[in-house]
Structure 1
Amino acid sequence: MMKRSLAPIALLAALPSLTSCGEAEIGEPPLTEAALAAVTEEAGAPREDLARAVDELFTKEGLGETRALVVMANGEIAAERYGEGYDADTRFVSWSMAKTVTAVMIGMLVADGRLSIDESAPVELWQRPGDPRGEITLRQLLQMRSGLRHTEAGDPPYESSEVRMLFLDGRDDMARWAKEQPLEAEPGAQFEYSSNTTVILADIAARALTDSDDPEIRRRAVADFLEARLFGPLGMDSMVPEFDASGTLIGGSLIHGTARDWAKLGEFLRRKGRAPGGEQLVPRRWVELMVSPSPRSPQYGLQTWLNREYREAGDESEHPLFPDRAPGSVFSLIGHMGQYVIVSPEQRVTLVRLGHSDRPQRIAMLQELADILELYPER
């Protein structure tokens, strides 16, 4: 009788271990070969954790479509993966990530002495006597606080200043259309994100490089400058900038490049303007200014988004990044529908995510990117 009673007692004693075994079996699934292959041996973070976080960006529901992901850690590729139909040679459209490229170009021209950041912006149309737009400075344009009537998003969409400039009445001479808009606020008084503003900056750059109005000469002047001063020294061989019919760089939205080349740009900014070989391509102080908060939007610098928390009373707008989960020094290039180059100087990490996600998907997807960053220690 005693021997028979031992069996159920032994079974009960084994239940905790059986339960824990069952939990392990229904926990996270084993990583696939593709997931592990995306991560290098010296990733700078726990390899399996990084592989799983990267894998979720491509497989988890509700995040949209991730087409490319590159993680750079300590200057080396830590992880790289592509969606079906895309690879390391695919050129991806920048959308608004191009704005940061335009800011770098302006910084080079300021360093060359061809432009001045705090003088009236050199826009001939605004220099007529009595035109209040003549008070707009280059700094205010860079910080998206020109005061011009530029509405980025419209309802219906064709009422958007961006849509009208890119595709409707402004498409042949985008900068002229953007410059012709009247003021709706005092220059410098308020922040308003605007692709039109960046095209004005691109036009200013072209006019600093050539006196010609010939579209081909203007296009070549800017393309050659970017190649000689930025893309070439950084080895960004895939970059293809687009221009409108007047020869103005569509500097707010249309530069194409591979995910690796976008990562090179992020690394260049992380190094505060230095090329891999040590050459200072743009002054260190300029990059520091690019990632310093605007007086009208602490979440924005010079054509660059910042991971700074800021809320006024009653402000329930979503933050473009994740200040609760990453250092305040993090900054980012951000493009339409989920294009990101996120740079964390304190963690020595650059993260590139390119793809297609709507607003709810982007909110969820950003938390996945934060998961990746959190695998890296702050230094």
Structure 2
Amino acid sequence: GGGERGEPHLPFIAVRHHSVGSSMRAAGCVGVTALSIALLAVAMGSAGYPLQRVLRRLYNVNMLFHEDNIVENFRSMHELGFPHMMVSTRDAPIAPLEPLADAAPLPSTFEWNGTTVNLSQWLQDKWTTGIVVIKRKSLTKAQLVYEHYGRGNDALSRCVSWSMCKSIVSTMFGIAVDRGIIGNIEKETVTDWVPELRGTGYDGVRLKDVLQMSSGVAFNEDYFHPFSDINMMGYTLAFGGSMDSFVASLQREREPGTFNHYVSMDTQVLGMVLVRAANQSLSAFLEEVLWSKVGFESSAIWSLDNEDSRMELAFGVLGVTTRDWARFGWLLLNEGLSPASGERLLSKEWVAAATAPDAPHLMPGKANTQSDYPSFGYGFQWWVAPRAEDPSLPGRDFLAIGVYGQLIYISPDDGIVVAKNGAYPFYASMQQAGSHENDLEIQGFHALRAIAKHYAAVGGAW
């Protein structure tokens, strides 16, 4: 399983999706200073790396999010020199999306922060590269009610997940729990599975607290600060270092299970547990339990940390088509039943637990001072939407969110999934002053919720 190994070259610098610091919280890359580049080049060269490879890594890392490169890079991560793994569908049956000849257009507007926003203009202005809206008609039938691509993308473009990958890892974790290869997440700890992390911030932390981004580990994800934790992680990758070793360097700052602090390394730790529990790579396990069973039409591509340890970057670097992101949402809309076959892939109980906050620090609402990002609630690596009538209460709709404009919005009440990819290079300009929250994602949620309500009203939901 796991498919073909890609040609190794450039590791990746700093990814995350929500977080700390005045910077933001997501997959990102530091604007590497000239001094940092020089120091890295000298150090890597002295360590035996060919200088050409050193310079290529540093150049690609530094230019990854540049306005002139970002769109092409986001659909071509596997061509930038990163080591990677292909995740095959194994030619399994595809879950069909039935096109509608007379489908209604998108709604003209959506509401955000007391203002009416032109939806089409917003999608264009925010560099949307693909949007797919599907309306479920039965467990294994769905209509493709809207599809559009921009900025050179098409239905075959594999769009980098950034932190939407975290929701994939959560789903894989749930399957492992359902199969009994991982036990009670309320009792089992990280170090039950990864004893190398004894004495670190993850020592004795319950698996559930890691799933809920409440590990208590200290981590600064300000990727505009050259020496933040997220950028030190990036330097580790640029050196060809191991993600497992980097995780082992982290320490605790608060009691686990008390504060919703978004730490991308929490997801990397979940990946470490999964590798040991499944006794195979993340790519191989993903192919076995999801990619060959859900009804995806294209293979996926998962970036790795380096050419030796070849550990998947679980926290956010998976390339998937926009249609297949929508099919992943369809699996969750089906409460774990395959859109292709109706087979149960994930328990209904896991889906319910994964998409609902169950503690005060995980609830939505500005009154929650124990969360980095109280506009949403939080489950097991899924964001939970606030209720429209009372934003301090969780709704039934939920999201996967990735930096620079990646979203999967799932509305069980409407029977709708909306998948959107983007490559907005001015993400920093939408950071809320004095807050960890970013308006691109909050606006995106309101836009996609309006789209779902619009299409649910056309013909009714199943």
TM-score (norm 2): 0.62
Per the alignment, in what secondary structure is the counterpart of residue 262 of structure 2? coil
- The aligned amino acid for 1:290 is A
Aligned counterpart for 1:350 among listed residues 414, 417, 420:
417
CA distance, structure 1, for counterparts of residue 403 and residue 240 of structure 2: 19
Shift of 1:132: 7.4
Structure 2 residue aligned with 1:261 = 324
Q: Deviations over 1:194-248 (max 9, x none)?
A: 11111111111111222xxxxxxx5xx3222211210111122231112212222
Give 1:174 deviation, angstroms. Answer: 1.2
1:155 Cα deviation after fit: 4.8
User: For 1:317-332, what aligned pairs fall within 5 Å after superposition?
Assistant: 328-332=395-399
Q: Deviations over 1:111-135 (max 9, x none)?
A: 222212121222213446xx77432
In the alignment, which residue of structure 1 is the partner of 2:146? 79
Which residue pairs with 2:59 in the alignment? Answer: none
SS at match of 2:292: helix
CA distance in 2, matches of 1:303, 1:362: 16
Q: Which amino acid aligns with 1:110?
A: V
Task: Give the C-alpha shift of residue 81 in structure 1.
Answer: 0.4
Tell me the distance in 2 between the aligned counterparts of 1:290 and 1:61: 29
Higher strand share: 2
Which residue pairs with 1:279 in the alignment?
343
Report the CA distance between 1:368 and its aligned residue: 3.0
What is the match of residue 285 of structure 2? Answer: 225
Q: Secondary structure at the match of 1:374?
A: helix
SS at match of 2:409: strand
Select which of 249, 262, 279 maps to 1:193: 262
Which 5+ residue runs of structure 1 have no aligned equivalent?
1-38, 211-217, 310-320
CA RMSD of aligned residues (A): 2.9
With a CA cutoff of 8 Å and minimum separation of 6, indicate the structure with the bigger relative contact order.
2
1:65 CA drift (Å): 0.5
- Residue in 2 that maps onto 1:14: none
The equivalent residue for 1:242 is 303
User: Matches of 2:395 and 2:158 in 1, distance apart?
Assistant: 30
Structure 2 CA distance for partners of 1:188 and 1:179, relative to 1, 3 Å: farther
Q: How far apart are 1:150 and its partner, in Å?
A: 1.8
Q: CA deviation at 1:308?
A: 2.5
Q: 8 Å contact 1:337–1:356 — kept in the other structure?
A: yes
Q: Deviations over 1:89-139 (max 9, x none)?
A: 0000000000001011111111222212121222213446xx774320111
Given that residues 63 and 362 in structure 1 are in contact (C-alpha distance below 8 angstroms), is that contact kept between their aligned partners in structure 2?
no
Kindly indicate whether the alpha-carbon contact (under 8 Å) linking 1:162 and 1:196 is maintained by their aligned counterparts in 2.
Answer: no
Compare the two structures and name the one with the higher helix fraction: 1
> Per the alignment, in what secondary structure is the counterpart of residue 180 of structure 2?
coil
> Quick one: distance in 2 between partners of 1:274 and 1:42?
29
> Which residue pairs with 1:205 in the alignment?
274
Unaligned stretches of 5+ in structure 2? Answer: 1-98, 111-117, 137-141, 364-376, 431-438
Structure 1 residue 178 displacement after superposition? 1.7
Partner of 2:230: 162
Name 1:123's counterpart in structure 2. Answer: 194
Is this contact kept in 2: 1:274–1:280, CA < 8 A?
A: yes
- Are 2:236 and 2:246, in contact at CA under 8 Å, matched by a contact in 1? no
CA contact (8 A) 1:175 1:196 kept: no
Contact 1:133 1:187 in 2 (8 A): no
Distance 2:174 2:208 in 1: 11
Question: What residue in structure 2 maps to residue 307 of structure 1?
Answer: 385
Question: Which of structures 1 and 2 has the bigger CA Rg?
Answer: 1
Q: Cα distance, 1:189 vs. partner?
A: 1.9
Q: Percent identity?
A: 28
Secondary structure of 1:140 counterpart: helix
Between the two proteins, the alignment pairs up a number of residues equal to: 313
Cα displacement string for residues 150-184 of structure 1 (whole angstroms, at most 9, x for unaligned residues) = 2223551x333233224436862113212321110
Q: 1:133 to 1:257 in 2, by over 3 A?
A: closer
CA distance in 1, matches of 2:109, 2:347: 36
Q: Secondary structure at the match of 2:312?
A: coil
DSSP-derived class of the 2:217 partner: coil
SS at structure 2 position matched to 1:95: coil
Structure 2 residue 448 is the aligned partner of structure 1 residue 369: yes
